[in-house]
C-alpha cells in the first residue's frame, strides 16, 4: 500500500525535453490512468516510476520514500508490460515464482502464493505450461499473476491490453478493475485508449506533448474539459469544433458562417468581442423542430452502430443552398431508431450547458453555455 | 508456411537446378566417391600398382596408435577451440550490446579478425609466441614460464588452439550479438523489477534464451576446428612437435601427400566424412526440434 507523489518531474533526452514537469499526488489504493496520444510521454513517465528510466529533474516518491536513486527491485513495485514480457523458457509457475525465488522466500511460501494468485486468475490448470502454449488472454493473466504474487505496494501497467482483440480487451478490462478493487493496490495504468481510460480510472491524467493537460475524475474531464486537446481526446466519437465570435456586448455567439447559437439569455460580457472555438459533443446534439433549431446539418454519411447511429455532415444556413455549407465536418450521435439518410437536412439543438468555449490560440477552456 | 511454385513445364525446375547440381557433382560427390573408392585400394607411391584390399585400410587405421592419438588430440583441440572462442565471443557480445556510444566502431573492429586468412592468423600468433623474438614469449619468460612450442607439445597445442580460436571469435561474436539483440528488452526489465541483478539476469534469462544460438555455434565451431584449422596448423607447427598438434585433417594431408600412403589417407577422409555427416545430422535434428524454448 502506498501513495505516489510527483514533484516537478521532468525528463530530457539530451537537449530534447519530453516531460515538462508533472506535479501530482496519487492516494493509497487509487487507480490512476495516464492517457494520451503516442509520443506524449505517458510511457516514459510510468517507466520513471518503475526505475527503468532516470529522472532528469524533480522527485518521485512511493510510500513517502523518494525513489529517484533506487533500483527497480528496491521500489516495491510490479509492472505488467504491453508484450507481457513472460520468460519464454519458464513454465507459468516458474514465471510467477521467479521474483519470489530471488527474494529467497521458502518453497512452501512460494507454492502457497503462486497457487493463490493462480486461483484468483483461473490459471490453476495452466501452471505447467510454457507461455507459447497459452492464448493472448491467458498470457495477460500470467503477467498479472507475476505482479500479484509479489504483493507490491504499487502496480504499474504499460498498455497491457493493446495486444488483445477487442472482445478480450473488454473482458480483461473488467478483470483488472475487479482485481484492483479486491486487492486495493495503488495502480498506475498507461493507455492510449480513451475508453479504457474512462472505464478504469478513479482519476485520469490526460497528457499531451509531455504536459499533464488535466488531472481529474473521468466524468469531470468529460463534462468540463480543461482544454481543446482534452475535449477532443476524451469522448468517442470526438467532440465537434466550430469557429465562432462573441458580439461586443456578449449577448450573441455567432458561428463564422453566420448562424447564431443560444439566441436567448446569453451573457458572455467578460468575453465580449472575442473569437472562440465552440466545442459540442456528438451525443449532445438533439433532433428538434425547425422553430427551436440552432443548427442545420446536411448529412453526407451515416454510420449505423445498432443502438446508435452517427450522422456526419456539414452545417448549412437555415434556408441556404448546399453550396453554402461550412467546411468543418460535424458529427451527430442519434438513437438507432432515428431514420436518417444521406442528403437529409437535420434540425439540431445542443443540450443546456453542453457548448464548450475554448480560446483558439491557447486552447484553454473559457466557458460553457 | 509453405510456398508452392507451379512450373508450366516439367523440365524448367530441373534446368534451374542444373548449375547447383553440376557444382555439387563435380566438387563434392565426385571427389567424395573417389575417396571412398581409394579407401579400399592399396597403391604404391608411384601409382604403378594398385590392389583391392577391402576394409584393410580401416582395420590398420584403428589399430594404429598414432591415429588414435590424433583422434584424442583432435577432440581436445576442437573442444578447446569451441569453448575458448565461444566464451570470448559471448563476453564481447554482451559488452558490445551494452555500449551506446561508438557501438558501430566496436562491432566493426571485433569483426576484423574474421577477414584474416587462417595461415596468416597462424603466422601472426607464431610470431607473437616465437621463443626467440616473440613478444608474448618474452612476457611469459618474465613471468617465469619457459615457452617453447618447438619442443613442448603442450605449448604447441595451446598455440594452435589460441590462433584458431582467435580467428573464430568474430564469427561467434556476430551470432551472439544478433541473438542478444533478439531478446526483447522488456524481458530484461521484467527480470530487473523481479529483483534479479545483472549476473542473475544473464544466467537465468539471457543465457537460456541464447541456447539455440549457442548450440548452433557449438556445432559450427567443432566443424571449424575439425576441418578449417588446417592452414593455422600447417603455417605454425606442421603437426609437431612429434604428433602433438596433428589433428585428423592434418594427418590426412601428411599421410597422403607426404607419406604417400593414399589408401590410408583416403580411409581417414572417409572417417572424417562420416563425422561431419553425423555432426550435421545432430545439428539439424536438434536445432529444428529440441532447442526451442
Put simply, whether B189 touches A (Cβ < 8 Å) is: yes
Within 8 A of A72 by CB-CB distance, chain B residues are: 189, 192-193
How many A-B residue pairs are in contact by the CB < 8 A criterion?
A: 59
Contact A275, A254 (CB under 8 A): no
- Check pLDDT > 60 for residue B281: yes
Contact criterion met (CB < 8 Å) for A87 and B186: no
A-chain residues near B215 (CB < 8 A)? none
With beta carbons under 8 A apart, name residues in chain A contacting B205: 87
Q: Do residue A102 and residue B189 have CB atoms under 8 angstroms apart? A: no
B191 Cβ under 8 Å from any chain A Cβ: yes
pLDDT in tens, B113-131: 888 887 888 888 888 888 8
Q: Are B161 and B79 in contact (CB under 8 A)?
A: no
Nearest CB neighbour to B193, from listed A73, A88, A130: A73
10 Å Cβ neighbour count for A253?
Answer: 24
Residue B1: pLDDT above 60?
no
Whether the per-residue pLDDT at A289 is higher than 70: the answer is yes
- B210 reaches A (C-beta below 8 A): no
Confidence of residue B176 (pLDDT cuts 50, 70, 90): very high
pLDDT beyond 70 at B2: no
Q: In sequence order, what are the residues at sequence separation of 6 or more whose Cβ sits closer than 8 angstroms to the Cβ of residue A201?
A: A31, A32, A33, A189, A217, A218
Q: Chain A residues contacting B, CB < 8 Å? A: 50-52, 71-73, 77-79, 81-83, 85, 87-89, 98-99, 102-103, 130, 146, 150
The pLDDT score that the predictor gives to residue A97 is 93
**C-alpha cell recorded at residue B32:** 567424395
In this complex, do A73 and B186 lie within 8 Å of one another by their Cβ atoms?
A: no
Q: Which three cell numbers stand for residue A328?
A: 468543418
Does pLDDT of A151 surpass 60? yes
Say if the Cβ atoms of B184 and A85 lie within 8 Å. yes
Tell me the shortest Cα–Cα distance from B65 to chain A, in angstroms.
Answer: 46
Residue numbers in A near B187 (CB within 8 A): 85, 87-88
The Cα of B96 is separated from the nearest Cα of chain A by a number of Å equal to: 20
Identify all chain A residues contacting B195, using CB atoms and an 8 Å cutoff: 73, 99, 102-103
User: How many C-beta atoms surround the C-beta of residue A263 within 10 A?
Assistant: 11
Given a contact cutoff of 8 angstroms between Cβ atoms, the answer to whether A51 and A58 are in contact is no
Report which of A112, A44, A102, A32 is spatially closest to residue A73, judged by C-alpha positions: A102
φ, ψ of residue A280 in degrees (nearest 5)? -145, 135
- Our CA-based measurement puts residue B103 at a distance from the nearest CA of chain A, in whole angstroms, of 18
Q: In terms of DSSP bridges, do strands A308-315 and A295-304 run parallel, antiparallel, or are they unpaired?
A: antiparallel
Among B193, B200, B293, most A C-beta atoms within 10 A, so best to mutate, is B193
- Closest chain A CA to residue B190: A85
Give the pairing type, strands A186-191 and A154-158: parallel
Select from A48, A73, A147 the residue whose CB has the most chain B CBs within 10 Å, as the one to mutate to test that interface: A73
Pairing of the two strands A31-35 and A57-62: unpaired
Cell of A253: 455567439
Please indicate whether, in this complex, the C-beta atoms of B189 and A87 are within 8 angstroms of each other: no
Q: Is A12 helix (H, G, I), strand (E, B) or coil?
A: strand
What pLDDT, in 10s, does the model give residues A106-126? 999 999 999 999 988 888 899
Residue of B nearest to A129 (CA): B293
Q: What is the mean pLDDT of chain A?
A: 88
Q: How many CA atoms lie within 13 A of B293 on its CB side?
A: 19
Least CA distance to B209: which residue of chain A?
Answer: A89
Burial of B36 (0-12, 13-18, 19+ CB in 10 A): middle
Higher pLDDT, residue B113 or A214: A214
Please name each of the domains of chain B with its CATH number: 65-292 (1.10.3720.10)
Q: Which of A72, A88, A150 sits opposite B192 (nearest CB)?
A: A72
Which residues, including other chains, have CB under 8 Å from residue B32's CB and lie 6 or more apart?
A: B273
Q: Considering only the C-alpha atoms of chain B, give the largest distance between any 2 of them, rounded to a whole number of Å.
A: 77
Chain-chain contact of A150 with B209 (C-beta, under 8 angstroms): no
Question: Given CB atoms, is B100 within the 8 Å cutoff of chain A?
Answer: no
Q: Among B185, B188, B192, B195, pick the best mutation site for testing chain A contact (most A Cβ within 10 A).
A: B195
State the burial class of residue B61 (Cβ atoms within 10 Å of its Cβ: 0-12, 13-18, 19+). buried
The DSSP annotation for A206-258 comes to EEETTEEEEEE-HHHHHHS-SBHHHHHHSSSSPPEEEEEEE-TTS--EEETTS
Rounded to two decimals, the pTM is: 0.78
For residue B292, the model assigns a pLDDT of: 47
Q: Is the pLDDT of residue B187 over 60?
A: yes
Residue A190: closest CA among A48, A72, A25: A48
Percent of chain A with pLDDT over 70: 96
User: Considering only A26-35, A71-80, A145-154, B259-268, which range has the smallest mean pLDDT?
Assistant: B259-268
**Whole-number Å distance between alpha carbons of B148 and B156:** 8
pLDDT at A320 over 80: no
Where residue A289 falls (left for φ over 0; alpha for ψ -120 to 50; beta otherwise) is beta
Question: What are the phi and psi torsion angles at A34 (to 5°)?
Answer: -100, 120
Task: Please state the ipTM of this predicted complex.
Answer: 0.81
Asked if A75 and B279 touch (Cβ cutoff 8 Å), the reply is: no
What is the phi/psi pair of residue B289, to 5°? -110, -55
Please judge whether A102 and B194 are an interchain contact, meaning their C-beta atoms are less than 8 angstroms apart.
Answer: yes
Query: What integer best gives the mean pLDDT of chain B?
Result: 84
User: Could you report the per-residue pLDDT of B27-43, keeping only the tens digit for each?
Assistant: 988 988 888 888 887 77
- Among partner residues A73, A82, A103, which is closest to B192 by beta-carbon distance? A73
Q: What is the DSSP string of A285-300?
A: EEE--GGG-SEEEEEE
pLDDT of residue A265: 67
Average pLDDT rounded to a whole number, residues B136-147: 82
Find the mean pLDDT for residues A329-333.
Answer: 92
Instruction: For A346, list phi and psi in degrees, rounded to 5.
Output: -100, 140
Amino acid at each position: 500500500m502506498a501513495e505516489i507523489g510527483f514533484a516537478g518531474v521532468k525528463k530530457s533526452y539530451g537537449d530534447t525535453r519530453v516531460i515538462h514537469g508533472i506535479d501530482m499526488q496519487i492516494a493509497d489504493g487509487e487507480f490512476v490512468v495516464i492517457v494520451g496520444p503516442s509520443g506524449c510521454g505517458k510511457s516514459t513517465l510510468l517507466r520513471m516510476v518503475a526505475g527503468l528510466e532516470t529522472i532528469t529533474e524533480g522527485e518521485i516518491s512511493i510510500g513517502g520514500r523518494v525513489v529517484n536513486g533506487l533500483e527497480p527491485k528496491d521500489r516495491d513495485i510490479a509492472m505488467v508490460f504491453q508484450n507481457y514480457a513472460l520468460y519464454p523458457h519458464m513454465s507459468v509457475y516458474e514465471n510467477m515464482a521467479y521474483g519470489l525465488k530471488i527474494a529467497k522466500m521458502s518453497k512452501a511460501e512460494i507454492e502457497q502464493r503462486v497457487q493463490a494468485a493462480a486461483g484468483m486468475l483461473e490459471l490453476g490448470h495452466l501452471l505447467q505450461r510454457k507461455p507459447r502454449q497459452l492464448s493472448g488472454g491467458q498470457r495477460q493473466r500470467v503477467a498479472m499473476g507475476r505482479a500479484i504474487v509479489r504483493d507490491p505496494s504499487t502496480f504499474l501497467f504499460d498498455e497491457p491490453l493493446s495486444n488483445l482483440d477487442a472482445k478480450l480487451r473488454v473482458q480483461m478490462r473488467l478483470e483488472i478493475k475487479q482485481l484492483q478493487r479486491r486487492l486495493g493496490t495503488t495502480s498506475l495504468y498507461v493507455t492510449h485508449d480513451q475508453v479504457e481510460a474512462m472505464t478504469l480510472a478513479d482519476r485520469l491524467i490526460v497528457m499531451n506533448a509531455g504536459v499533464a493537460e488535466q488531472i481529474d475524475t473521468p466524468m469531470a474531464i468529460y463534462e468540463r474539459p480543461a482544454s481543446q486537446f482534452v475535449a477532443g481526446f476524451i469522448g468517442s466519437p470526438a467532440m465537434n469544433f466550430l469557429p465562432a465570435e462573441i458580439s461586443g456586448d456578449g449577448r450573441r455567439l455567432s458561428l463564422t458562417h453566420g448562424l447564431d447559437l443560444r439566441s436567448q439569455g446569453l451573457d458572455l460580457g467578460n468575453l465580449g468581442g472575442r473569437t472562440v472555438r465552440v466545442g459540442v459533443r456528438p451525443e449532445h446534439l438533439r433532433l428538434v423542430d425547425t422553430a427551436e433549431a440552432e443548427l442545420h446539418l446536411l448529412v453526407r454519411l451515416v454510420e449505423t452502430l445498432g443502438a446508435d447511429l452517427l450522422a456526419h455532415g456539414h452545417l448549412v444556413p437555415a434556408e441556404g443552398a448546399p453550396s453554402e455549407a461550412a467546411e468543418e465536418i460535424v458529427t451527430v450521435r442519434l438513437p438507432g431508431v432515428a431514420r436518417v439518410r444521406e442528403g437529409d437536412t437535420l434540425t439540431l439543438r445542443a443540450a443546456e450547458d453542453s457548448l464548450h468555449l475554448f480560446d483558439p490560440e491557447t486552447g484553454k477552456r473559457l466557458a460553457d453555455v | 508456411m509453405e510456398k508452392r511454385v507451379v512450373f508450366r513445364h516439367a523440365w524448367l525446375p530441373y534446368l534451374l537446378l542444373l548449375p547447383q547440381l553440376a557444382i555439387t557433382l563435380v566438387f563434392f560427390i565426385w571427389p567424395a566417391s573417389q575417396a571412398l573408392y581409394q579407401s579400399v585400394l592399396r597403391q604404391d607411391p608411384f601409382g604403378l600398382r594398385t590392389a583391392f584390399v577391402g576394409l584393410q585400410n580401416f582395420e590398420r587405421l584403428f589399430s594404429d596408435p598414432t591415429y588414435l592419438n590424433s583422434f584424442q588430440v583432435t577432440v581436445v583441440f576442437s573442444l578447446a577451440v569451441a569453448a575458448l572462442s565461444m566464451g570470448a565471443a559471448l563476453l564481447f557480445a554482451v559488452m558490445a550490446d551494452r555500449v551506446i556510444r561508438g557501438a558501430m566502431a566496436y562491432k566493426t573492429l571485433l569483426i576484423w579478425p574474421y577477414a584474416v586468412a587462417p595461415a596468416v592468423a597462424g603466422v601472426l600468433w607464431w610470431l607473437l609466441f616465437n621463443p626467440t623474438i616473440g613478444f608474448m614469449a618474452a612476457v611469459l619468460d618474465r613471468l617465469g614460464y619457459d615457452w617453447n612450442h618447438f619442443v613442448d607439445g603442450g605449448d604447441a597445442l595451446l598455440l594452435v588452439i589460441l590462433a584458431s580460436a582467435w580467428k573464430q571469435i568474430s564469427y561467434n561474436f556476430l551470432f551472439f550479438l544478433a541473438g542478444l539483440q533478439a531478446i526483447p528488452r522488456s524481458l530484461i526489465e521484467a527480470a530487473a523489477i523481479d529483483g534479479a541483478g545483472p549476473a542473475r539476469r544473464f544466467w537465468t534469462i539471457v543465457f537460456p534464451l541464447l541456447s539455440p544460438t549457442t548450440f548452433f555455434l557449438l556445432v559450427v565451431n567443432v566443424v571449424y576446428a575439425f576441418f578449417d584449422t588446417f592452414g593455422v596448423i600447417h603455417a605454425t607447427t606442421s603437426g609437431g612437435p612429434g604428433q602433438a598438434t596433428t589433428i585428423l585433417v592434418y594427418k590426412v594431408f601428411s599421410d597422403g601427400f607426404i607419406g604417400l600412403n593414399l589408401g590410408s589417407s583416403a580411409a581417414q577422409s572417409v572417417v572424417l566424412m562420416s563425422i561431419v555427416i553425423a555432426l550435421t545430422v545432430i545439428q539439424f535434428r536438434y536445432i529444428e526440434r529440441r532447442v526451442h524454448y
